[in-house]
Amino acid sequence: MEAVVEILKELDWSPLWISLKTGTAATVISFFLGIFAAGKVMHTTPGKKAVLDGILTLPMVIPPTAAGFFLLLLFSRRRPLGILLYEQFDIKVVQTWLGCIIAATVIAFPLMYRNARAAFEQIDVNLIYAARTLGMSETKIFWKVVLPSAGPGVASGTILTFARALGEYGATSMLAGNIPGKTGTISQKIAMVIQDGDYLTAGIWVAIVILIAFIVIFLMNLISGKHMKQVKRW
Amino acid sequence: MGIFIDVHKKLGNFTLNIRFASEAKRIGILGASGCGKSMTLKSIAGIISPDAGTIRIGEQIVFDSGKKINVKPQNRRAGYLFQNYALFPNMTVEQNIAAGLSGSREEKRKRVREMVGKFQLDGLERRLPGELSGGQQQRTALARIMAYKPEIILLDEPFSALDIYLKDNLQREMENMLKDYEGTVILVSHDRDEVYRFCEETVILDHGNVLVSDKTKELFQNPRLKEAAKLTGCKNFFKAKRVDAHTVELTEWGLFLHVRKDVPENCEWIGYRAHDFIPVWGERKKNSIPVCVENTAQLPFEVQYYLTVSGEKKTNDPETVRWFVQREKIAQLKEKGMPDHLQLSEECMMFLA
């Protein structure tokens, strides 16, 4: 026990903040992109839908390291896009916090997209038709009818996205690396200390992660629970 | 005022070819499920777009494939009442009514108040649709449509999913609420009673085509076509052959009917409503058919008899005649026994093609 207190006293908390910041940023980005993509894919022709759906879901299905490989191909400073970003905008992705966000977003995005789409597709189409015949603009329909009706699905998509982004390891370690205080997330910290045989520190970080997970799930259930009261469900 | 529809749409194996015009204020579209009624209504509202054709609501052309006109549903001023009412589940009664309104906050509030009063929704303003009874939901849905001052109101099978008791209440309520509405109302239904009750004019659809359309009362009296007669609730159809202008042979039994009015040239069937037979005891009278009972069904207010005809030629179909007897006449049958013949009165005969 004393050992735990000793470690906690001297613990470098930076992985926690880096993970939380990365998770939040990736969730916000995925939230909007996912909802946008879900709306678009839902309304395309079946052929296009199959292709788009495949591409958008792919990052969730392939190993994160494989996704990391593609990201490296894209953003490496020896590649066209990486060169362009660096030379024109002075933006570095590889081995930076931006890399963390991009990796986490790419891996977590499909969860948001798929949940949002499933939620949208379950909406009674008559609601949309009714809204149209009542003169509501498509934008208004989306914000006032579609999104609230899809609320619970979108909320659970957001939880899963945040959880996945928070725990991202494979793609992050490849694109952003594990630079303490900069790109060193909790997942990478755990992996690193375990390699050093420091099970105690690893255990502490695992406990922190579990705690965060519980808080997030609790909060989200609270939000979606409030929403659920308004909608009759079976 | 009035409406003109000429729409064509292909959807898989189904083809919709609807054409009718009406100046009536209350129009009924009657047809079996899958005949294209709903699709017609959705085309008028602009929810679906026909492949070709023209639609005019009042004075406004809302669709014309030739001139590439296709007014968005938002701008058609067509109020659509869905079978499930399609109230927004996350909005209160007030918010639902205000959903389609434009203008200042004050104007909207005034309009909502007005509608709440008119549709007797006082006290329910803050309720969510899930907390309303079926009748309250219907009133809310109508209030939401009316708030928007529609040019035309489209009712898509509004009573089909209801039990009989509720149905009757809601039908009366609907009639009252639409009484002072000046625009056109189109009711789509598979229920002949509903259409008969509501509509001045009726269009009968079958497999995506208009069979007949006319003033409702006249249409029910003379549907002209066998399929149309079926939809108006006619239960008996006898294969017929026109012999001359005043004689028809019921070919299945070799019986002859003699009538004063002219038999149309294209008459192939005699349609006869199950309630209209006149029982005959003893000797055969003019225009009657000899029958014996095959089956009976006891209902609370009537008895339904399924009869066979003992004609000169033997028929293959053992239950050819349906005779429904209302309660007040049942006593007579108890007293005198089953009749030997059923007589067809000339006024009730339908000559059908």
Q: Where residue A224 falls among pLDDT bands split at 50, 70, 90?
A: low
> Which amino acid makes up residue A149?
S
For chain A, give the percent of residues with pLDDT over 70: 94
Contact list in A for residue B88 (CB cut-off 8 A) is 127, 130-131, 144-145, 148-149
Average pLDDT over residues B300-305: 89
Q: Where residue B263 falls among pLDDT bands split at 50, 70, 90?
A: confident
Residue B8: what pLDDT? Answer: 92
Residue B311: what pLDDT? Answer: 57
User: What's the N-to-C CA distance of chain B in angstroms?
Assistant: 33
Give the strand order in the sheet containing B236-244.
B255-258, B247-250, B236-244, B269-272, B350-352
- From A133, A136, A227, residue closest to B80, measured CB to CB: A133
Q: Which of B49, B76, B82 to mutate to test the interface with A (most CBs of A within 10 A)?
A: B82
Distances (CA, A) of A183 to A17, A22, A64: 10, 9, 17
Helix (H) or strand (E) holding B231: helix B226-231
Distances (CA, A) of B103 to A142, B22, B107: 20, 33, 6
Average pLDDT over residues B144-169: 85
For chain B, give the percent of residues with pLDDT over 90: 16
How far is A113 from A38, CA to CA, in rounded Å? 6
Is the predicted pLDDT of residue A181 greater than 80, yes or no?
no
Half-sphere exposure of A54 (CA within 13 A, CB side): 6
Is the predicted pLDDT of residue B162 greater than 80, yes or no?
no
Task: Burial-class residue B29 by CB neighbours within 10 Å (0-12, 13-18, 19+).
Answer: buried
Count of CB atoms situated within 10 Å of the CB of A224? 17
Is the predicted pLDDT of residue A87 greater than 90, yes or no?
no
pLDDT, tens digit, 9 for 90 and up, residues B211-232:
888 888 888 888 888 888 888 8
Does A131 contact B79 at a Cβ distance shorter than 8 Å?
Answer: no
Does B88 contact A144 at a Cβ distance shorter than 8 Å?
Answer: yes
Q: Where residue A187 falls among pLDDT bands split at 50, 70, 90?
A: confident
Q: Which CATH class is domain B3-223?
A: alpha beta
Q: Which of residues 93-132 of A touch B (CB under 8 A)?
A: 124, 126-127, 129-132
Average pLDDT over residues B140-168: 86
* ipTM, two decimals: 0.80
Residue A130: what pLDDT? Answer: 92
Q: Are the C-beta atoms of A103 and A176 separated by less than 8 Å?
A: yes
Give the architecture (CATH level 2) of A2-228.
Orthogonal Bundle (1.10)
Q: pTM for this one?
A: 0.77
How far is A205 from A29, CA to CA, in rounded Å? 26
Does A136 contact B45 at a Cβ distance shorter than 8 Å?
Answer: no
Name the residue of chain A whose CA is nearest to B81's CA: A130
Does B72 contact A132 at a Cβ distance shorter than 8 Å?
Answer: yes
Q: Is A148 on the interface with B (CB under 8 A)?
A: yes
Name the residue of chain A whose CA is nearest to B74's CA: A135
For chain A, the structural domain boundaries read 2-228
Does A149 contact B89 at a Cβ distance shorter than 8 Å?
Answer: yes
Residue B188: what pLDDT? Answer: 92
Of the candidates A172, A169, A161, A48, the residue with the CA atom closest to the CA atom of residue A98: A172
Of the candidates B351, B329, B349, the residue with the CA atom closest to the CA atom of residue B279: B329
Residue ranges, comma separated, of all CATH 3.40.50.300 domains in chain B are 3-223
Q: Are the C-beta atoms of A156 and A115 separated by less than 8 Å?
A: yes
- From B74, B82, B89, residue closest to A135, measured CB to CB: B74
Name the residue of chain B whose CA is nearest to A149's CA: B90
Average pLDDT over residues A1-5: 72
Name the residue of chain A whose CA is nearest to B46's CA: A133
